[in-house]
Structure 1
Amino acid sequence: MEELRRQGTFESEEEARLREIVLGRLAALVRKFVKHVSLDRGLSEAAAEAAGGKIFTFGSYRLGVHGPGSDIDTLCVVPKHVSREDFFDVFEKMLRETEGVTEVSGVPEAFVPIIKIKISGIPIDLLMARLALSSIPDDLSLADDQLLRNLDERCIRSLNGSRVTDEILRLVPNVAVFRDSLRCIKLWAQRRAIYSNVNGFLGGVAWAMLVARICQLYPNAIAGAIVSRFFIIMYQWSWPQPVLLKQIEDGPLNVRVWNPKLYPADRSHRMPIITPAYPSMCATHNVTASTQMIITEEFKKGADIVDKVIVGSASWSELFAKHDFFHKYRYYLQVIASTASQDLQIKWAGTVESRLRQLVMKLEFVDSLTLAHPFIKGFEQVSYCLSEEEVRAVAQGEISEAIRKRKKEDIEGKEGASTVYSTTFYIGLAIEPKQPGTVGPRKLDISYPTTEFVKLVKMWEKFDETKMGIVVRHLKSSALPDYVFDDGERQPRSAQKRPKPTKTSGKSHGTSPDMPKSKKRRSSFTSENTAAAVAVPGLVKPAENGLSASGMTTSHVPTITPPGLSIKDPADIKSPQLPFGENVAVATNPTAV
């Protein structure tokens, strides 16, 4: 706990009070919104006032493990006469007109429709659920499964976050120990860059359920012991056996939520973690072969560190060492989403990010690529350009020192000047080691995945080629921009050394159902970059042909150990490695380097 405090994971009392004030203002706004719509529907003043409207928090704030600056996941519950269209048309407009509310961005077409806002600087994610009730009482509880009757799927998904969070808190034997343990694991996962559901890692709900399961297995343990056992058990866990939270008060074998007939196991779920509230669903369906390997390797590293902490040869601070993502690989893919509008950029970058997992999955089927490692966040930049040429360069990731230093006032009133908002995502590429006896350089063609990815993001119904740019290109590690490194973190070019390539186990070959079976086709781009650039005037557009190749899976040797866990004997585990290939060409039109 001392180390967590040193790491700054706890918010100040002042910020905690501000959050309570903000939530109070939001609750009043929701009631005002429901009353406004009720009056528009012809209800009397008294009936409109009684219609109510209520907010529920969920996620890290509801679990009590949020940190300074973290957002508040909030659910707005409204009666049956208030529609989702009202939420995005009427309520979003009310939010924009409310003093202290900034950065309002609604995404009605999202899988879980959402409005993102800031109130007094506190970021809030707003979901909405319409219940089959004429009014929403102040004492409403969402625990009753009957509330889900006759609701559409989007409302059920919106309700699920709050219902799952409450069920997790109900099922853990000691809430205080659970919170301290989860706060530690969240910090570790964030520092190691494996905390992101959208990018194929584990999100907040999945981490919470894993920690809750360990708390159930060791109900009398303190937080330090829970954390230690967490890493050992998670590394040894025999995936894809699902992780389930159980009714501990009814005995350890009474599984309430898992019924294969009601929820058949999906073989594509590599690390299934099943939510404990009806309707049960897999919280980790985004995990890919690559991200599973990365998570497993981090479990192993964490287990090694806590072993040393227990015997006194390491400190807890070593567990929270920063990731080495931008030092790990020789080649990276750079995905740049750009627009000329801040509000549009939020939606466009979010759309591109939500589809990055598809690019990772296609990259996993490329020969010689053993791993496609997505970074967990994008890097946002605002560039002030004086010409069309500068706009085009920025959209392709070429930001000169002059553009980088230029400020908003430097372009005001100048003809042809414009502002470009860009968000850049990175994927590290681990290359298969060169086999003994191989002569000459090898070739790596990733044109098929990149081309298909660009075509996929262009299928967004609101895509406008005149306003939105998308560029995918490869970079060597030496060409990574300075902004991805902390001050003083980047090593001098001559000092950067790479470990000797190592073999990986468990590579097998297969075909993707959405890729052509032939592996012989090659694309012929005219651009030197592994790039597909669209929606910026004058940029090269992607070719249509491409390549599909092999993928990989990881094998496991399960054994059975108490208490009811199927895990692997450490002696039988072959640790996933992250190799570095040398002398490999990464190009759209394959040529050796």
Structure 2
Amino acid sequence: MPISEAHPTKDDLESTDRLLQTLKDQGLEIVLGKLDKMVKEFVYRVCLRRNHSESLAREAGGKIFTFGSYRLGVHGSGTDIDTLCVVPRHVEREDFFEDMQDMLRQRPEVTELTAVPDAFTPVIKMNFSDIPIDLTFARLGLSSIPDSLDLADDSLLRNLDDRCIRSVNGSRVTDEILRLVPNIPAFRMALRCVKLWAQRRAIYSNMMGFLGGVAWAMLVARVCQLYPNACAATIISRFFSILHQWPWPQPVLLKPIEEGPLQVRVWNPKLYAADRGHKMPIITPAYPSMCATHNVTDSTKAVMLSEFKEAAELVNRIMVERIPWSALFTKDDFFTRYRHYLQVIASSDTEERHLRWSGLVESRIRHLVTRLERVENLVLAHPYIKGFSKVIKYRTAAEKEDAAHGTVKTPSVDQESPSDSPAETNTMHTSIYYIGLCIPAREAGSTAHRKMDLFRPKEEFMEIVKSWDKYDPQSMGIVVQHIRSSALPAEVLDDADQKKTKRSKSGKKTAVDTTRPPSKKRRGSSSQNGVLPDVVPAASVETPGTPTATASPLPTIDVSATTAPIVPQV
């Protein structure tokens, strides 16, 4: 039953108008690349190669479906557009990742093209006319795909493999959300607000263990069901107040509108017997129901609950005191919140190789987070939602080793002076990911030194990423190392952050380092006393046959003089 069926008051409507203006000011736009003709041409070529007649090849069809934020009507500028390529039964997934990828590569408007066929949901990522697009694939058991095809029919899922079911479900779940929402205009406005807030607070990333777009949409849709006649401003206010008090891990489910098989399927308690390990379960409404938040960890859950509580208090002030809605969308303080961080640095020698390698490393960061959560004296491991990439020119093995460890002493490609000779330089592509480490305050009166041994989590993470079947130690590098907040590079800090980091713990002003400080001489590989050196590409040495350059070991962190930053507790 709805909690309230009350209609919005005059103040509620005025608050909604102010919210709408704020959202317009953020420059949210809806964009979409049109790929339908290419998909039909792709299917046509495959059919001809498999000796189908000209007429049958033309009739085979193929269709592009959109889902996610674009389909929901809340897409913002710069956000990936989720698309699904649906093909008939005689087109294989291998054709998609070969023929379709080749067709896209030949288009001059396609850039940053990379395929991830081994992902949980296989995908081709690209920029099409500067529009970021994620293109997934589903092969249905039909001889042709008409333009009138509707994916809502459950029978279309028969005999499909798991990857195709997951791909199709993206579109099916989006359509089901829209069907179950009582007031679509209010839902869309509220969801735009929540998505923008989550992005600004750096908690919008399914890959990093936070919530992705579909999870945020289902949460907002559930609040809309509880307040079917509320305006967007009221929905947002209720959204935060409900979520920070939600009895997790009780799952969030959308309530079906009518009686029938869907209701039995969604509300059957046996469905969640295998989901006890999920920290914040949010269950998709379309068959087969799945948990959309299986990546959430104890740390990311704690961060989100803290953000929900803070936002609930702020929105209450916005509604009552009429402070500007823009106050809700302040930038996160991730790079000033902690005194200790881990850097995960992925490096490669070519752009194409780096797109694959850095994508693999990024997708495994959450595994490092779950292992860090087991470290003694570590309260919380908070991953940042994106990496920082750059292309670096180097001339010597030492310069390459420095770049692979985040110490940039040579100019980037964009900063290369005209006098530099290309023949004298080589190129390295790097992506750096950060994890904030929350350390508890020392107990009153205690003078004992405390240590955090990060060796085991690091070692297990290195094993995970290097077990990738396409990992090549000659051209790919991976480094995990501790860094203090005072040594964070300038590119991760905005002006406000840099002002904050200019003050040391004692309050005295200090210089802001733009690169990592010089480290001690790096030791060779050793397994003694539980220390494993970081890995850099074997290609970093200038002379073939010489030993691989190695990095300084990841130190245990002395936290005896560290006070706890203001962060949520696990």
* Residue type at the aligned position of 1:427: I
After superposition, the Cα gap between the structure-2 partners of 1:227 and 1:336, relative to the gap in structure 1 and judged at 3 Å, is: same
TM-score, structure 1 as length reference: 0.83
CA contact (8 A) 2:441 2:562 kept: no
1:429 is matched with 437
2:447 is matched with 439
User: How many Å separate the matches in 1 of 2:212 and 2:354?
Assistant: 23
Is the counterpart of residue 350 in structure 1 residue 359 in structure 2? yes
* Residue type at the aligned position of 1:583: A
Deviation at residue 406 of structure 1 after TM alignment: 3.6
* Residue type at the aligned position of 2:356: K
Match of 1:360 among 362, 369, 372: 369
1:540 is matched with 550
- Residues 291-300 or 113-122, more deviating: 113-122
After superposition, the Cα gap between the structure-2 partners of 1:5 and 1:534, relative to the gap in structure 1 and judged at 3 Å, is: farther
- What secondary structure, in the 3-state scheme, does the structure 1 residue paired with 2:270 have? coil
Runs of 4+ in structure 1 off by over 6 angstroms are none
Deviation at residue 523 of structure 1 after TM alignment: 4.1
Is the counterpart of residue 226 in structure 1 residue 204 in structure 2? no
- What secondary structure, in the 3-state scheme, does the structure 2 residue paired with 1:465 have? coil
Q: How does 1:46-445 map to 2 (within 5 A)?
A: 46-250=55-259, 254=263, 256-312=265-321, 314-400=323-409, 402=411, 406-407=415-416, 411-415=420-424, 417-445=425-453
- What secondary structure, in the 3-state scheme, does the structure 2 residue paired with 1:273 have? coil
2:531 is matched with 525
CA contact (8 A) 1:384 1:408 kept: no
Paired-residue identity, %: 54
User: How many Å separate the matches in 1 of 2:226 and 2:421?
Assistant: 63
Give the count of matched residue pairs. Answer: 518
User: How many Å separate the matches in 2 of 1:495 and 1:190?
Assistant: 27
CA contact (8 A) 2:65 2:83 kept: yes
Q: Deviations over 1:40-67 (max 9, x none)?
A: 1111111000000000000111111111
After superposition, the Cα gap between the structure-2 partners of 1:536 and 1:197, relative to the gap in structure 1 and judged at 3 Å, is: farther
Is the counterpart of residue 484 in structure 1 residue 489 in structure 2? no
Say what the alpha-carbon RMSD is for the aligned residues. 2.6
After superposition, the Cα gap between the structure-2 partners of 1:260 and 1:6, relative to the gap in structure 1 and judged at 3 Å, is: closer
Deviation at residue 68 of structure 1 after TM alignment: 1.2
- What secondary structure, in the 3-state scheme, does the structure 2 residue paired with 1:349 have? helix
1:518 is matched with none
- What secondary structure, in the 3-state scheme, does the structure 2 residue paired with 1:243 have? coil
- What secondary structure, in the 3-state scheme, does the structure 2 residue paired with 1:285 have? coil
User: How many Å separate the matches in 2 of 1:287 and 1:188?
Assistant: 19
- What secondary structure, in the 3-state scheme, does the structure 1 residue paired with 2:433 have? strand
User: How many Å separate the matches in 2 of 1:47 and 1:337?
Assistant: 47
Deviation at residue 582 of structure 1 after TM alignment: 5.3
After superposition, the Cα gap between the structure-2 partners of 1:532 and 1:465, relative to the gap in structure 1 and judged at 3 Å, is: closer
2:46 is matched with 37
Deviation at residue 276 of structure 1 after TM alignment: 0.4
* Residue type at the aligned position of 2:477: G
* Residue type at the aligned position of 1:525: V
- What secondary structure, in the 3-state scheme, does the structure 1 residue paired with 2:241 have? helix
- What secondary structure, in the 3-state scheme, does the structure 2 residue paired with 1:490 have? helix
* Residue type at the aligned position of 1:197: N
Deviation at residue 10 of structure 1 after TM alignment: 4.3
Match of 2:483 among 464, 475, 480: 475
- What secondary structure, in the 3-state scheme, does the structure 2 residue paired with 1:189 have? helix
* Residue type at the aligned position of 1:273: I
1:508 is matched with none
TM-score, structure 2 as length reference: 0.86
User: How many Å separate the matches in 2 of 1:4 and 1:581?
Assistant: 46
1:456 is matched with 464
Deviation at residue 9 of structure 1 after TM alignment: 3.8
After superposition, the Cα gap between the structure-2 partners of 1:355 and 1:536, relative to the gap in structure 1 and judged at 3 Å, is: farther
After superposition, the Cα gap between the structure-2 partners of 1:367 and 1:33, relative to the gap in structure 1 and judged at 3 Å, is: same
User: How many Å separate the matches in 1 of 2:104 and 2:532?
Assistant: 48
- Residues 442-451 or 217-226, more deviating: 442-451
* Residue type at the aligned position of 1:539: A
After superposition, the Cα gap between the structure-2 partners of 1:430 and 1:533, relative to the gap in structure 1 and judged at 3 Å, is: farther
Deviation at residue 485 of structure 1 after TM alignment: 1.0
